Amino acid sequence: MTAIPESHRYLLDAPVATLSTIGPDGRPQSTVLWFAADGDTVKLSLHPARQKTKNLIANPVASLLILDVENTGKYLELRGDVTIEPDPDYAFADAFVTKKYGLDLRVIDGDTAGQRVVVTLRPTRVNAVDMGR
Amino acid sequence: MTAIPESHRYLLDAPVATLSTIGPDGRPQSTVLWFAADGDTVKLSLHPARQKTKNLIANPVASLLILDVENTGKYLELRGDVTIEPDPDYAFADAFVTKKYGLDLRVIDGDTAGQRVVVTLRPTRVNAVDMGR
């Protein structure tokens, strides 16, 4: 169940997704963030100071849910393990984030520029839901 | 941090929320569902046959995230423990689900009518986010 069906692939172009991670207390945490599809994986550009990044470093498991905001009965959930790599020269940020969102993350990061990481989620379970509403 | 700020209370009337639970493998799972606010708690009407319900029975911790679908920079996340009670006579379903959605869950449940439970999430952490986009 790891292929993303054609019926839901358009959601990979959605502006935001909801990332769920496990916090230091063992409980789920959710946050809305930017993401970029890269083939059958999903990539995130995260700052290591953020709690979600700390959660993924400590416990590299995640669920990413993309809701169709124009048809809230339809969504795509991707579950899997993540890998985390540094992105000191913003290679990923430039190739994906700037391309999709038109934003330069160096500007957003300011004094902390150069610390950003790329998180890659390789789905091992795909739930493509259409409630038909 | 358990009060829901005025700036985000309108999201309690949103049509759907994203519930994150922890699955039997210890990993986060997310699903989109109906919900109803009841004062400072959030209630869900769930069927015990569903994986999310099984997850909550085994590990009664959750995160519920409500995205503003018209302004995806704004969302409300509620984290906390849940309690689970039977709703054999659909008292909750009628008072909240039918009222908010105009749906009779007995019809949806069909042969399994009467098995439904009420899940109450009492937030111990509230994240009211506005990215200002």
Number of domains in chain A: 1
Give per-residue pLDDT as tens, B14-27.
999 999 999 999 99
C-alpha distance from A14 to closest chain B C-alpha (Å): 10
Give per-residue pLDDT as tens, A7-61.
999 999 999 999 999 999 999 999 999 999 988 899 999 999 999 999 999 999 9
> What is the identity of the amino acid at B100?
K
Confidence of residue A113 (pLDDT cuts 50, 70, 90): confident
**What predicted TM-score, i.e. pTM, was given to this entire model?**
0.95
Pairwise CB contact (< 8 Å): B30 & A18:
yes
State chain B's mean pLDDT as an integer. Answer: 93
CATH code at position A112: 2.30.110.10
In a domain, A101, yes or no: yes
Give per-residue pLDDT as tens, A64-81.
999 999 999 999 999 999
Tell me the mean pLDDT in the region B42-62: 96
Nearest to B27 among A30, A69, A79 (CB): A79
Residue B83 tokens read as 């309690």
In a domain, B97, yes or no: yes
Res B133: pLDDT: 55
In a domain, A83, yes or no: yes
Q: In what order do the strands lie in the sheet with A117-130?
A: A28-33, A17-22, A61-67, A74-86, A117-130, A41-46, A36-38
Nearest to A69 among B22, B61, B69 (CB): B69
In a domain, B29, yes or no: yes
In a domain, A29, yes or no: yes
Res B61: pLDDT: 98
Residue A113: name the closest of A122, A104, A121 by CA. A104
Could you give the 3-state DSSP secondary structure of residue B104? coil
Taking contacts as CB-CB distances below 8 angstroms, the residues of chain B near A72 are: 15-16, 32, 69
B96: containing domain: 6-130
Q: CB under 8 Å to B27, separation ≥6 — which residues? A: A22, A61, A62, A63, A79
Confidence of residue A133 (pLDDT cuts 50, 70, 90): low
- Helix boundaries (H) for A18-126: 51-58, 91-92, 99-101, 105-109
**What distance lies between CA B58 and its chain's CA centroid?**
17
In a domain, B118, yes or no: yes
Using a CB cutoff of 8 Å and minimum separation of 24, what contacts does B100-108 make?
B100/B34, B100/B36, B101/B15, B101/B34, B105/B45
- How many interchain CB pairs under 8 A, A with B? 92
In a domain, B1, yes or no: no
Q: ipTM of the assembly? A: 0.94
User: Has residue A1 got a pLDDT over 80?
Assistant: no
Q: Which secondary-structure segment (H or E) carries B82? A: strand B74-86
- Mutation site, B1, B20, B33, B121, interface A, largest A CB count within 10 A: B20
Res B112: pLDDT: 85
Q: CB under 8 Å to A20, separation ≥6 — which residues? A: A28, A29, A30, A62, A63, A64, A65, B20, B28, B29, B30, B63
Could you give the 3-state DSSP secondary structure of residue B31? strand
Query: In angstroms, rounded to a whole number, what is the distance separating the alpha carbons of residues B74 and B130?
Result: 4
**What distance lies between CA A38 and its chain's CA centroid?**
11
Query: In angstroms, rounded to a whole number, what is the distance separating the alpha carbons of residues A85 and A63?
Result: 19
In a domain, A1, yes or no: no
